């Protein structure tokens, strides 16, 4: 009979009735659920998640197909379920259909409470890894963050990141003295990657209010751990975003949570469905980052479980960290596939009672070969089991149920509305406008100064001209005066001489007639002038 115990992670039962559970103190040593399509991976994930929740351990699930959403509702009897309940004698062991406390999340804010973070929180290293930057570009990314930090510019969204990249590019010479060489060509390369990330819909993710990772850690009314369900139906269309997000969450948890070492049970457990999407086409740097984070997060009390179709989807470095393995049926029709199944079989500690390779290919739906870590951390011998049925609803939920779950959450009001605070983009935009205005004002002032100078010069020129005119007029007046004096003198002389001459002529005789008179006058005048000049000289 299956006994529902509080302190064990129930998974299933062997044909001989042995209960096979994951040891809670080894649950942070991570795990894997593999198997071909339709073999029972998602239900196994649900069973594990339910068990963790029952122990008061919160869970985070990436729901790729929407079929994990049913965890908020009680399961229902079907012929198949009745058979399984009977097979495990579950009715007497406390099995009851019930829903679990759930919180729905969605990066796009449609099928769950919006889950966001900021560029600053993501940090330069992780962002560089996600953007696939090379070493040089990664170095420049750190400088971008440093400059933003030094100037107290908040980097919230991709708009902020682009604004500061442009700002540094335009003023790169200014920054080089303090931060070293920042080639505009490197900044352009980073910019292109940021734009590419934006085009994948990342700007939805980068916004305030950023998630407080501690909100994942909650317990429901009956002390059950909350099951956080991230709708990933749209997210998995872009593996880059999916892996970026997964890495971000794990890194954030690593930074936020205290070191706890080995503990009786995990603080939080992650399940990543369709995990091959995280690794397919991922750069070497990204994979090694995932490997590193998975390795380190164990000491923070976080367990990570990857769900995938074939164990070969998981890179060796990551696979080596996964202590608890559940392998559903694998198919092998080609030699290449057989090789993969062989490798999967060899990854499990051999059980002399059955051939793992053969068994893996012959498993029915809901059956698995499992190997879990013992208390000493040593992998247990492979066991063939039937996985328990879940207590919550299998499959999807209606839109109405989802909506009331979302709006009924205490976290809804905290996160549903995005806001765009004053950050780098707004600051630099305003600064740009102010700089332009200052430039325009300086230009206007310079022009006015120039015009004033020109006017002053023209005025001075006019004044000079007027002075010159006055001087010339004065000169002319003087000249005229002198001329007038001379003329006056002349006129005195000629009138004296004329008179004298005329009188002399007259006295010489008026009998010469008119001609004689004139001649006499002229002669007289001439004589008079000679006489006068002689007089004046003397
Ligand atoms: N432990 C189980 N208890 C009850 N039913 C199960 C169990 N495992 C599998 N099933 C049945 O098998 C069906 C397929 O299982 P599941 O959805 O888990 O497969 P899967 O491996 O996740 O498939 P896919 O690769 O398409 O996602 C379930 O809908 C359910 O009816
Ligand atoms: Mg599935």
CATH number for the domain harbouring residue 33: 3.40.50.300
CA gap 221, 203 in Å, rounded: 35
Query: Whose C-alpha lies nearest to ligand 1, atom 28?
Result: 40
* Ligand 1 atom nearest residue 307's Cα: 22
Residues 68 and 182 in one domain: no
Torsion angles phi and psi, residue 402, rounded to 5: -60, -45
| Index of the ligand 1 atom closest to the CA of residue 64 | 27
Residues in the chain: 538
Question: Does the pLDDT at position 511 exceed 70?
Answer: no
Q: Are residues 407 and 302 in the same domain?
A: yes
Is 362 in the same domain as 459? no
Match 């009851």 to its residue by tokens.
96
pLDDT of residue 285: 83
Query: How far is ligand 2, taken at its centre, from the CA of residue 502, in Å?
Result: 150
Strands 9-13 and 383-387: antiparallel
Q: Is ligand 1 within 6 A of the CB of residue 39?
A: yes
Confidence of residue 1 (pLDDT cuts 50, 70, 90): very low
Tell me the mean pLDDT in the region 143-162. 95
How are strands ordered across the β-sheet holding 383-387?
A: 19-22, 9-13, 383-387, 367-371, 324-327, 31-34, 302-308, 268-272, 59-63, 227-231, 102-106, 113-114
Average pLDDT over residues 458-482: 90
Q: Is residue 527 part of a domain?
A: yes
Helix (H) or strand (E) holding 371: strand 367-371
* Contacts of residue 286, Cβ cutoff 8 Å, sequence gap at least 6: 129, 130, 132, 243, 247
Q: What percent of the chain has pLDDT over 70?
A: 90
- 26 within some domain: yes
Locate 75 and state its tokens.
């399961």
**Best probe residue, ligand 1, of 12, 34, 42, 236 (max atoms within 8 Å of C-beta):** 42
The residue contributing the CA closest to ligand 1 atom 16 is: 40
What is the Cα–Cα distance from 479 to 148, expressed in whole angstroms? 82
Best of 20, 36, 38 to mutate for ligand 1, by most ligand atoms within 8 A of CB? 38
Tell which one of 49, 90, 365, 388 to mutate to probe ligand 1, the residue whose CB is within 8 A of the most ligand atoms: 365
Token couple for 308: 């995938």
Residue nearest to atom 5 of ligand 1 (CA): 389
Range of the domain at 471: 427-537
The mean pLDDT of 163-180, rounded to a whole number, is 93
Q: What is the mean pLDDT of residues 462-491?
A: 86
In this prediction, residue 127 carries a pLDDT of 92
**Per-residue pLDDT, 519:** 46
Structure confidence at residue 530 (pLDDT)? 52
With cut-offs at 50, 70 and 90, classify the pLDDT of residue 533: low
Q: How confident is the model at residue 440 (pLDDT cuts 50, 70, 90)?
A: confident
**C-alpha–C-alpha distance, residues 227 and 491, integer Å:** 132
What is the average per-residue pLDDT within 139-154? 95
Report which of residues 480 and 520 the model is more confident about: 480
- Is 343:364 a contact under the CB 8 Å cutoff? no
Cα 230 to ligand 1 centre (Å): 20
Residue 392: asked if its preceding bond is cis (omega within 30°), the reply is no
- Phi and psi at residue 23, to the nearest 5°: -75, 120
The predicted pLDDT at position 42 comes to 95
Instruction: Give the number of the atom of ligand 1 that is nearest the alpha carbon of residue 366.
Output: 8
424, 83 Cβ separation under 8 angstroms: no
pLDDT of 6 above 80:
no
Pull the structure tokens for residue 65. Answer: 């197909």
Range in 154-168, 225-239, 494-508 with the lowest mean pLDDT: 494-508
pLDDT (0 to 100) of residue 492: 64
264-313 tens-digit pLDDT:
999 999 999 888 888 887 888 888 888 999 999 999 999 999 999 999 99
Task: Indicate the pLDDT class of residue 433, thresholds 50, 70 and 90.
Answer: confident
Answer yes or no: is the C-beta of 365 below 6 A from any ligand 1 atom: yes
Best residue for ligand 1 mutational test, from 32, 366, 389, 395 (most atoms within 8 Å of Cβ):
366
Q: Is 173 inside a domain boundary? A: yes
189: burial class by Cβ within 10 Å (0-12, 13-18, 19+)? Answer: middle
Structural domain includes residue 1: no
Task: Tell me, yes or no, whether 300 lies in a domain.
Answer: yes
Q: What is the tally of structural domains in the chain?
A: 3
Task: Give the mutation target among 43, 272, 276, 388 for probing the ligand 1 site: most ligand atoms within 8 A of CB.
Answer: 43
Residue ending a domain, among 397, 419, 441, is 419
* pLDDT band, very low/low/confident/very high, at 200 (cuts 50, 70, 90): confident
Which of 19-28, 76-85, 244-253, 397-406 bottoms out in mean pLDDT, i.e. has the lowest?
244-253
| E-state strands within 388-467 | none
Among protein residues, the one whose CA lies closest to atom 12 of ligand 1: 40
Q: Which of 110, 144, 119, 209 is nearest to 413 (CA)?
A: 209
- Ligand 1 centre and the CA of 67: distance in Å? 10
* Atom of ligand 1 lying closest to residue 387 CA: 1
Same domain, 59 and 167: no
Nearest-CA neighbor of 76 among 399, 390, 386, 366? 390
One domain for residues 62 and 101? yes
Q: Which of 360, 391, 419 is the last residue of a domain?
A: 419
Ligand nearest the Cα atom of residue 329:
1
State residue 508's pLDDT score: 47
Q: Is residue 123 part of a domain?
A: no
Instruction: Judge if the beta carbon of residue 522 lies within 6 A of ligand 1.
Output: no
Residue predicted with more confidence, 484 or 33: 33
Lowest mean pLDDT segment, chosen from 42-46, 258-262, 330-334: 258-262
The confidence score (pLDDT) of residue 224 equals 94
CA 367 / ligand 1 centre spacing (Å): 10
Q: Are residues 92 and 75 both part of a single domain? A: yes
Q: Check pLDDT > 70 for residue 218.
A: yes
* CA atoms of 274 and 200, how far apart (whole Å): 19
CA dist., res. 362 & res. 34, Å (int): 15
> What's the gap in Å between 531 CA and the centre of ligand 2?
148
State in Å: Cα 43 to ligand 1 middle.
Answer: 5
> For 35-60, what is each residue's pLDDT tens digit?
999 999 999 999 999 999 999 999 99
Which three-class secondary structure state does DSSP give residue 225?
A: strand
Q: Is residue 202 part of a domain?
A: no
Confidence of residue 244 (pLDDT cuts 50, 70, 90): confident
The alpha carbon of 78 and the centre of ligand 1 are apart by a number of angstroms equal to 14
Tell me: do 38 and 182 sit in the same domain. Answer: no
**Residue 387 Cβ contacting ligand 1 at under 6 Å:** yes
pLDDT mean over 310-331: 95
Q: Are residues 266 and 336 in the same domain?
A: yes
Residue 515 has pLDDT above 50, yes or no: no
For residue 487, count other CB atoms closer than 10 A to its CB.
11
CA 150 to centroid of ligand 2, rounded, Å = 47
Q: What share of the chain is helix, strand, coil (3-state, %, to 5)?
A: 55, 10, 30
Domain identity same for 259 and 293? yes
Tell me what pLDDT residue 246 has.
Answer: 85
* Whether 257 and 164 share a structural domain: no
- Residue 495: predicted pLDDT: 57
Task: Give 449's contacts (C-beta < 8 A, 6+ positions apart).
Answer: none
CA within 13 Å, CB half, 191: 16
- pLDDT, one tens digit per residue, over 185-195 is 999 999 999 99
* 385 pocket-lining for ligand 1 (C-beta < 6 Å): no
Asked whether residue 2 is assigned to any structural domain, the reply reads no
With a CB cutoff of 8 Å and minimum separation 6, the contacts of 287 are: 279, 315, 317, 318
Q: Identify the residue whose C-alpha is closest to ligand 1 atom 25.
A: 37
Same structural domain for residues 64 and 167? Answer: no
Where is the domain boundary, 376, 392, 419?
A: 419
Tell me, yes or no, whether 317 and 432 share the same domain.
no
Question: Does residue 38 have its Cβ closer than 6 Å to ligand 1?
Answer: yes
- Ligand 1 centroid distance, CA of 219 (Å): 27
pLDDT of the residue at 537: 47
Task: Tell me the pLDDT band of 383, cut-offs 50, 70 and 90.
Answer: very high
Distance of CA 394 from the midpoint of ligand 1 (Å): 9
């Amino acid at each position: 009979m299956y006994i529902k115990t509080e302190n064990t992670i129930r998974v299933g039962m062997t044909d001989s009735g042995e209960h096979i559970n994951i040891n809670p103190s080894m649950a942070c040593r991570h795990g894997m659920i593999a198997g071909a399509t339709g073999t029972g991976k998602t239900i196994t994930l649900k069973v594990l998640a339910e068990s963790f929740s029952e122990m008061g351990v919160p869970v985070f699930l990436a729901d790729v197909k929407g079929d994990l959403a049913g965890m908020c509702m009680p399961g229902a009897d079907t012929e198949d379920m009745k058979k399984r309940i009977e097979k495990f004698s579950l009715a007497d062991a406390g099995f009851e259909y019930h829903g679990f406390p759930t919180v729905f999340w969605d990066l796009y804010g449609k099928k769950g409470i919006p889950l966001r973070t900021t560029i600053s929180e993501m940090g330069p290293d992780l962002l560089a890894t996600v953007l696939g930057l090379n070493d040089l570009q990664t170095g420049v990314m750190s400088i971008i963050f440093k400059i933003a930090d030094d100037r107290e510019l908040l980097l919230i969204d991709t708009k902020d990141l682009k604004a500061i990249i442009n700002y540094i590019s335009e003023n790169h010479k200014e920054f080089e003295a303090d931060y070293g060489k920042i080639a505009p060509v490197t900044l352009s390369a980073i910019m292109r990657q940021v734009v590419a990330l934006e085009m994948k819909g990342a700007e939805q993710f980068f916004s305030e209010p950023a998630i407080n990772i501690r909100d994942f850690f909650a317990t429901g009314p009956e002390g059950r751990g909350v099951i956080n369900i991230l709708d990933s139906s749209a997210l998995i269309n872009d593996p880059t975003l999916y892996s970026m997000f997964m890495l971000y969450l794990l890194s954030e948890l690593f930074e936020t949570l205290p070191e706890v070492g080995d503990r009786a049970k995990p603080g939080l457990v992650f399940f990543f469905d369709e995990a091959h999407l995280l690794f397919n086409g991922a750069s070497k740097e990204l994979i090694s980052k995932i490997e590193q984070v998975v390795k380190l997060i164990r000491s923070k009390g976080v367990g990570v479980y990857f769900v995938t179709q074939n164990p070969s989807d998981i890179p060796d470095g990551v696979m080596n960290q996964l202590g608890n393995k559940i392998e559903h049926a694998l198919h092998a029709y080609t030699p290449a596939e057989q090789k993969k199944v062989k490798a999967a079989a060899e990854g499990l500690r051999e059980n002399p009672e059955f051939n793992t390779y053969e068994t893996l290919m012959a498993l029915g739906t809901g059956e698995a070969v499992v190997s879990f870590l013992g208390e000493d951390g040593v992998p247990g011998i492979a066991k063939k089991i039937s996985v328990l049925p879940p207590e919550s609803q299998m499959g999807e939920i209606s839109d109405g149920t989802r909506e009331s779950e979302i709006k009924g959450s205490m976290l809804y009001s905290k996160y549903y509305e995005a806001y765009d605070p004053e950050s780098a983009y707004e600051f630099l935009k305003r600064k740009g406008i102010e700089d332009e205005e200052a430039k325009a004002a300086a230009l206007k002032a310079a022009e006015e100064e120039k015009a004033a100078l020109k006017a002053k010069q023209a005025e001075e020129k006019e004044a000079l001209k007027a002075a010159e005119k006055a001087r010339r007029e004065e000169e002319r007046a003087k000249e005229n005066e002198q001329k007038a004096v001379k003329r006056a003198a002349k006129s005195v002389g000629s009138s004296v001489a004329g008179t004298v001459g005329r009188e002399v002529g007259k006295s010489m005789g008026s009998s010469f007639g008119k001609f004689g008179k004139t001649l006499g006058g002229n002669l007289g005048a001439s004589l008079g002038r000679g006489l006068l000049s002689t007089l004046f000289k003397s």
